[in-house]
Structure 1
Amino acid sequence: MEAAVDRVDGESISRLLRGWRARVDARTLPELRGVFPRPGRRLSQKHVARMTGVSEGWYRALEAGRRQDFSESFLLRVAQALRLSEAETLTLFLAVCGRRPPESGRDRSDLPRGVKALLEQQVSYPAYLSDVAWNVVAANSLMGEWFPWVTRPQPNLMRWALLHPEAREQMLDWEDSCARIYLAMLRVASNSNPGNEELRTLVRDILEADADCRRIWAEEYDVVEHRDGHDFRLRLPYHGNAEIRVTTHVLLPIQRPDLRFVFITPADGWAGV
């Protein structure tokens, strides 16, 4: 039964890889200049293996759909050799290893037009965009009025919420409603992205800097993927330090799955935003 599943899965990605390879004219590839004998029109498996730095047998196993321990760097080299588009590279990664390709050092300010417009046009509630390490890459004007820290250089939600003294004053029930949940989110993120140096540094810096966070981290085993739909209480200067209850909503822009679109709304019908 297992072999049948492998064969079906393999046929799908095999057909795609053969088709992608067949459309590449080997004569146009600078990587194959000087190769003897000189390549003709057809890009062969041997050519792709040469361009990706592996044996012909290793590449042949990929194209045959045989499940191997193919590394991300190898799959990225295959995508480059076959001149794959972003969507084709995504398909290759999902078919072979079941995960998305790593982000390519994209400029954080390079936001899709629609996502940026949606953020700027959100005038009723505070809203912001954060990346996988909770760096705030953009925020609307109301978010800056509620939480002035997002206008400071290199704002980071986790560093502010877990390390800044004002967070403990403004986020009521700080330990239970904030610290335990955010640390549980960091636990999920650090295990989901073990190769992300920025996330590792973020966790290390927080635990080294704060004794309460170290204690919670050591005594808790909870994991939380996101804070969507979570209610919490705030006391902000923007609201004259009156207590308010709000709910967070987290959306993932399809054009930038590495970002979170977060906005904050009144809880229980509160209309004082």
Structure 2
Amino acid sequence: MEQQGDSISRLLRAWRARIDAHTLPELRWVQPRPGRRLSQAHVARMTGVSEGWYRALEAGRRQDFSESFLLRVAQALRLSDAETLTLFLAVTGRRPPGLPARPREDLPEGVRSLLQQQVSYPCYLSDTAWNVVAANDLMGEWFPWVLRPAPNLMRWALLHPEAREQMLDWEDNCARQYLAMLRVAANSDPANAELRALVREILDADADCRRIWSEEHDVVEHRDGHVFRLCLPYHGHTEVRVASHVLLPIQRPDLRFVFITPLTD
């Protein structure tokens, strides 16, 4: 613990030392006018706490530091996403909530290339609200809905009539799984307005989903390795069994890289 505290102490001092206080609009009207050096008192003022409270953080002493306070520290010190992550992990052991979302179209070239090079299996990228942001050609051939405007896996699987025909054993093997995943996601990120709206839309629109939601309490974080039975036009409406595999690109942990592989047994 002491080594961890010492480490974050040194980082916080370094992050504070690199900032020119004269450039900060938050200190523009402070009297007397601060010098170039950003002090602990300045950071305390910018984050709305006492100097002693901020000093305890910078000294690496254990306190009940709130997430909102740490986010204000990150803003005051102009921390990058990686620096904010380091601060949160060192102080709370958790990842920070609500880092600014990057544009869905802003895909790392390596991730985009890997997706396009997949010619044996359908695969796609989705965000934390299950919006499909990119898909390979085979995914579009198996599941033409991904080519429609603003495709969303949950809306299609839970609300679209064709999903109930194409995903066999729809209620037990699809709806209950996906609603259990939505339950985890909604509770893991309550500040995600898009996710909350998606849950409301699905429950408002479909009586079966409302019934399953009210009678079930299962939670599922992901469907990696889950087996689905499909009946798709692409396969001449003959049954196929597939498994889904979910990967998280390290460059974009807000995205899921999903492969769909046929089972032969």
- Bin the TM-score by the shorter chain: over 0.9
Aligned pairs for 1:70-219 (under 5 A) are 70-72=66-68, 74-101=69-96, 102-219=98-215
TM-score (normalizing by structure 1): 0.90
Deviation at 1:8, TM superposition (A): 4.9
Q: Which moved more, 1:126-135 or 1:63-72?
A: 63-72
Distance 2:35 2:205 in 1: 61
> What's the offset of the Cα at 1:105?
3.2
Q: Give the letter for the 1:177 counterpart.
A: N
Q: Deviations over 1:97-129 (max 9, x none)?
A: 333232313211111111111111111111110
Aligned to 1:61: 56
Please report how far the alpha carbon of residue 80 of structure 1 lies from its aligned counterpart in structure 2 after TM superposition.
Answer: 2.8
3-state SS of 1:264 partner: strand
Letter in 1 for 2:85: L
Match of 1:227 in 2: 223
Identity among equivalent pairs (%):
79
- TM-superposed deviation, 1:243: 0.7
Answer whether contact 1:184 1:222 (CA < 8 A) is retained.
Answer: yes
**What is the SS of the residue equivalent to 2:240?**
strand
Between the aligned partners of 2:222 and 2:229, the Cα distance in structure 1 is 17
Uncovered stretches (5+) of structure 2, i.e. residues with no partner? none
Distance 1:27 1:206 in 2: 51
Contact 1:62–1:68 (Cα < 8 Å) also in 2? no
Q: Is residue 43–residue 54 contact of structure 2 (8 Å, CA) maintained in 1?
A: yes
- Classify the secondary structure of the residue corresponding to 2:114: helix
Aligned-partner SS, 2:228: strand
Find the partner of 2:11 among 1, 16, 20.
16
Structure 1 CA distance, aligned partners of 2:81 and 2:72? 13
Amino acid across the alignment from 1:39: P
* Residue aligning to 1:240: 236
State whether residues 81 and 99 of structure 2, in contact with CA within 8 Å, keep that contact through their aligned partners in structure 1.
no
1:111-167: CA deviations, max 9, x gaps? 111111111111111111011111111111111111111111111101110111100
TM-score normalized by the length of structure 2? 0.92
Match of 1:29 among 10, 24, 28: 24
* 8 Å contact kept, 2:85–2:95: yes
Residue range with higher mean Cα deviation, 99-108 or 180-189: 99-108
SS of the residue 1:256 aligns to = coil
Number of residue equivalences: 263
Question: How far apart, in 2, do the equivalents of 1:82 and 1:47 lie?
Answer: 10
